Amino acid sequence: MTTNSTQLFSADFSQADAQSIADEIKNETGYQIFEQALTPEALNGLLESLPSEQVLVNDNRIGYVKAYSSNYFSHTLAVSRNCFDIVTSENIRAICRKYFDKPFRISNQRIYETHTASHLPWHTDNNLQDGNAYKGKHDLPGLMFLFYLSDVGDTNPFQLIPFSQTWSHQNNAERFFKESYIEEHYGEEVVSVRAPKGTLIICNSKMIHRAKPFNNHAFKRLTLLFQVDEVSDEYAGHGENILINTSFVTNRDPEVLDYLGFGMRANYPAFPETSVATMMPRDMLALQKQILPKAIKGLTIALTKRILPGSLVNTIRKNRFKVSGN
């Protein structure tokens, strides 16, 4: 059963006018903030629905991946019903309907942890890709939805520059904005979002933003992020491949299916690009500790099968079954 929106969101966010939110983001400052938009019940349910951070090896389940110093859960809609209900809620889609003049769809979604060693410079999110490679900027209208899943104070707040969506296109030749340039020209205008977990930040995808750099190895910020972009023939295939648990799709309204991208091409792989090479030495060591005992057990069983007669192996299996059954 789909979670009711009154259970998902606080009264402050549930009762907010979608048109006013869309107008503020499209024509004014470019962003809106709703502190503790998620109810405590929704937030706790979401956190409890997340998989273990253990790296999966030869495992059919979906879980976290390691990209250098950060952890990413790139397929929330395939595992967490709580995430699915939040992302597809009427409250979120109502804002999208008021903001976009044309059809719109989710272009990416993930839960991730920031880390003191990971720093992304000032940037916008109206990006084009060729596979995993950055290709340039597009001019499609877009919205970014970011939920704090951790309390955020002075350490690593999300930062943005109001009204920057009106002039960020002047830097379309570059992916990032120089720190010195932002500090010199817009340093006093930067908004740092210090807020409790459950807070929602909505902003224009052309707005310049970043996570404030920090130096505290003990701190991690857990965040749910998803982006919605306008659908355009000019940018056919724009968006990441998204896995969805079909049992979550109890609302088969055509708008919901289009919003999820059913039947639409998506050319981008899920972010981030990962392999063993993107794991830190400590993570590879932990993985070896996880794999080695199982590898020894598997090797022992394989050798035993080769050495012992098949009838004896079957007898051992039957005896083990009887013991475990008792």
pLDDT in the model for residue 56: 82
Asked if 93 and 257 touch (Cβ cutoff 8 Å), the reply is no
- Statement to judge: residues 161 and 304 lie in one domain: no
Asked if 111 and 148 touch (Cβ cutoff 8 Å), the reply is no
What's the rounded Cα separation, in Å, for the pair 316 and 190? 69
pTM for the model:
0.87
- Statement to judge: residues 152 and 299 lie in one domain: no
What's the rounded Cα separation, in Å, for the pair 101 and 43? 31
Structural tokens at position 264? 């639409």
- Statement to judge: residues 289 and 217 lie in one domain: no
- Statement to judge: residues 92 and 190 lie in one domain: yes
pLDDT in the model for residue 310: 65
pLDDT by 10s per residue, the chain, length 326: 444 554 999 999 999 999 999 999 999 999 999 999 999 999 999 999 999 888 887 788 898 898 888 889 999 999 999 999 999 999 999 999 999 999 999 999 999 998 777 788 999 999 999 988 999 999 999 999 999 999 999 999 999 999 999 999 998 889 999 999 999 999 999 999 999 999 999 999 999 999 999 888 888 899 999 999 999 999 999 999 999 999 999 999 999 999 999 999 999 999 888 888 888 778 778 777 787 887 788 788 778 777 766 666 666 666 665 555 55
CA-based nearest residue to 136, from 144, 128, 147, 148: 128
pLDDT in the model for residue 306: 78
CA-based nearest residue to 267, from 238, 242, 243: 238
Residue written as tokens 């404030």?
212
Give the structural domain span for 315: 281-325
Asked if 21 and 47 touch (Cβ cutoff 8 Å), the reply is no
- Statement to judge: residues 314 and 262 lie in one domain: no
How many other CB atoms are found less than 10 A from the CB of residue 81?
18
What's the rounded Cα separation, in Å, for the pair 106 and 110? 11
- Statement to judge: residues 229 and 305 lie in one domain: no
> DSSP characters for 11-45?
HHHHTS-HHHHHHHHHHSSSEEEETT-B-HHHHHH
- Statement to judge: residues 119 and 53 lie in one domain: yes
- Statement to judge: residues 60 and 180 lie in one domain: yes
CATH no. for residue 45? 2.60.120.620
- Statement to judge: residues 289 and 270 lie in one domain: no
- Statement to judge: residues 238 and 312 lie in one domain: no
- How many domains is the chain built from? 2
H/E stretch holding 146 reads strand 142-148
Asked if 67 and 106 touch (Cβ cutoff 8 Å), the reply is no
- Statement to judge: residues 266 and 298 lie in one domain: no
Structural tokens at position 35? 């502190």
- Statement to judge: residues 93 and 167 lie in one domain: yes
What's the rounded Cα separation, in Å, for the pair 213 and 115? 9
Q: How far is CA 114 from the centre of its chain?
A: 12
